[in-house]
Structure 1
Amino acid sequence: MMRIIDGHCDALYKMFENPVIDFYDSVAVGLDVSYAKMKKSNVKIQFFAIYLPERITVPKFDHYLEYINIFYQKITCDGRVRLIKNRDDLHTVWNSESIGAILTVEGADAIQGNPLFTRTLHHLGVRFIGVTWNYGNWAADGILEPRQGGFSRHGKSFIKDCDDLGILLDASHLSVAAFWDLAAASARPFVATHSNAKALCGHPRNLDDNQLRELIRRDGRIGVTFVPWFVDGGQASIDGILRHIDYIGALGGERQLVLGSDFDGISRTIPGLEHAGQYGNLVDALSKRYSNVQVERFLYGNWYSYLERHLPVH
């Protein structure tokens, strides 16, 4: 089976909320993404997001540290899953039996404009940051923030800090104005790890054609996601995911299309694609429509080439 790289899941959130969940249990009740399910589908690299739930009304840096502790103690504890921090790690994982993990932050609220916190996250292995979740924070507005502003002055300084450190930025969840502020301010190609095409499904979290073209122009990445209400707003299907892939490909994005499932971050799933162990159904559907070379690009090749180009060397 072809390898898979998935650019977004919320397994850490579920493990934070329910400490008894065992990532390595053969069943791993409650997790869409577990070791056994990843092995079944040949998921070779998984991005793990640090997402603080809305019930935490005053996010603190300690909350990030709690998530990172869970990640190190319960996921990368014995070498079966290895953290990827740089290109050397990427190559080592790719040529081994281990699964690779990339640590990300979804919502920079608890950084609070403190460059030391950003640098500490980098030291601890974070390599991607989504600046907002749906709402506004000190750095920028999210897509559901009523004022729909862009980046603040401190937020623009944060973009430069991340660029300098080699932390890559994720535009999923940003307001439209903030997306374009990021495009203007960042020297690096950024990504949208889990967003679909707004032309096919008008959910605010999806990207319009101009945004998609900008990501394509910059050779960023567009993570087609399995969130049902981002696929068609109704009874979503695997065919609906393929329609988004078709559409973004027709805009010129064949080499920028990647996957960003959002497993463990959704309350409803697509039939036949309920968890990471069912990727085979998506692979089969893609293989009926695209060549092997194209399918390999969508499943892992486009993510791999981006990581190899933009992760730190050592």
Structure 2
Amino acid sequence: MKVADFHCDVLSKMQNFGDIDFRKDPRLDVTAERLAAGNVDLQCFAIYLSERGGKLGFERILGQIDLFREKVVRSEGLQWLRWKEEVESQVLGGSSAGMLSVEGVDGLEGNLFYAQLCFELGVRFLGVTWNYANWAADGVLERRNGGFTEKGRRLVEWCNQSGMLLDVSHLSPSGFWELTELSDRPFIASHSNAAAICGHPRNLADEQIKALIAMDGRMGLTFFPWFVEDGGKAGREDLLKHIEHVCSLGGERILMFGSDFDGIDTWVEGLEHPGKYPEFAELLLRHYPEELVSGWLYGNAMTFLGENLPSKKSKHSPA
């Protein structure tokens, strides 16, 4: 079965360690060889700026975009998925594709022109925060649980106008609810699980999941053990509890996966890298109908992109 994975942190690792080979480097969870082995037809590559690399500035975002273009697209032949019109050909075609997102807008430095440049250079999702506050909003670990700043609200308005999509994984609960009022379009949580099953603050409460269902957004279950099981030790069977719970809320059509490979330092047993997806698919098929499983692995994500990515024909004015 085809797979769409909505979150990995390969580019950050490649920027921090300049000699990494994307094709098969053992320091990576996600490699070109493992994507092929796992039948991963679409991989979303996050641009995450770790403090290890120094200042969280826009030049580092540009550096990761360049790494994606040179080391992933040109060197390994992945297609670059950017437009609504490309989704159908991707679903019907035989080649694998990649997308770009930004995880935490810190590196945009509060400058909407930088956001516009990211869009023009092929970024299609913005995760507003990482875990803590930045110029746009509070992250989920910020104790005050604030929402959006004035600049952050202007960023959302720009996203509504430009076609840039939004990702609420890492956003504070207050920010989540504020975004439901500010955003004209559905948004996603690219790598978050169900808080009712595992109480980590990065996971989504039932009311948040219901809000995603109501707007026809998407929720990517993630493979970081601390988000799967309280105590941080988990096997792939434990993800079934999260699937069951989201489905019990009526969310079978919003589920997808966002592994967080290369952004984690411990792994769900049996899901250590994307080459393990076929075994995970077999597990899912032992418990659920093929129609649902194929939706969770691929179809739900691609349907969302087909409905919500910007069109090549639309006009995108500068910020």
Q: TM-score, normalised by structure 2?
A: 0.95
1:49-70 residue CA offsets vs partner (Å, 9 max, x unmatched): 0000033563111010011111
Equivalence for 1:236: 234
Equivalence for 2:222: 225
Equivalence for 1:17: 16
Q: How does 1:1-314 map to 2 (within 5 A)?
A: 2-24=1-23, 27-56=24-53, 58-78=55-75, 80-234=77-231, 235-314=233-312
Q: Is the 8 A contact 2:29 2:274 kept in 1?
A: yes
Distance in 1 (CA, whole Å) between partners of 2:247 and 2:9 is 27
**3-state SS, counterpart of residue 138 of structure 1:** coil
Q: Is the 8 A contact 1:191 1:215 kept in 2?
A: yes
Distance in 2 (CA, whole Å) between partners of 1:15 and 1:96 is 28
Which AA in structure 2 matches 1:132? T
1:207-249 residue CA offsets vs partner (Å, 9 max, x unmatched): 0011010001100001011110000123211111111011001
Relative to 1, partners in 2 of residues 1:284 and 1:75: Cα closer, same or farther, differing over 3 Å?
A: same
Distance in 2 (CA, whole Å) between partners of 1:72 and 1:184 is 35
Distance in 2 (CA, whole Å) between partners of 1:266 and 1:31 is 11
Deviation at 1:29, TM superposition (A): 1.2
1:119-163 residue CA offsets vs partner (Å, 9 max, x unmatched): 100000000000000000010000111221100111011001011
Which AA in structure 2 matches 1:148? N
Equivalence for 2:317: none
Which stretches of structure 1, 4 residues or more, deviate above 3 A after TM superposition?
Answer: 55-58
Deviation at 1:181, TM superposition (A): 1.0
Deviation at 1:82, TM superposition (A): 1.1
1:58-106 residue CA offsets vs partner (Å, 9 max, x unmatched): 3111010011111111000146201111022223333333211110000
Which AA in structure 1 matches 2:30? V
Deviation at 1:206, TM superposition (A): 0.3
Which AA in structure 2 matches 1:153? E
Q: Is the 8 A contact 1:195 1:222 kept in 2?
A: yes
Q: Is the 8 A contact 1:90 1:100 kept in 2?
A: no
Q: Is the 8 A contact 2:50 2:56 kept in 1?
A: no
Distance in 1 (CA, whole Å) between partners of 2:290 and 2:104 is 36
Q: Is the 8 A contact 1:83 1:89 kept in 2?
A: no
Relative to 1, partners in 2 of residues 1:312 and 1:284: Cα closer, same or farther, differing over 3 Å?
A: same
Which AA in structure 2 matches 1:251? L
Distance in 1 (CA, whole Å) between partners of 2:212 and 2:40 is 25
Which AA in structure 2 matches 1:211? Q
Q: TM-score, normalised by structure 1?
A: 0.97
Distance in 2 (CA, whole Å) between partners of 1:57 and 1:149 is 26
**3-state SS, counterpart of residue 101 of structure 2:** strand
**3-state SS, counterpart of residue 74 of structure 2:** coil
- RMSD of the TM alignment (CA)? 1.2
Q: Mind listing any 5+ residue stretches in structure 2 that lack a counterpart?
A: 313-319
Q: Mind listing any 5+ residue stretches in structure 1 that lack a counterpart?
A: none
Distance in 1 (CA, whole Å) between partners of 2:277 and 2:95 is 19
Q: Is the 8 A contact 1:48 1:102 kept in 2?
A: yes
Q: Is the 8 A contact 2:128 2:167 kept in 1?
A: yes
**3-state SS, counterpart of residue 63 of structure 1:** helix
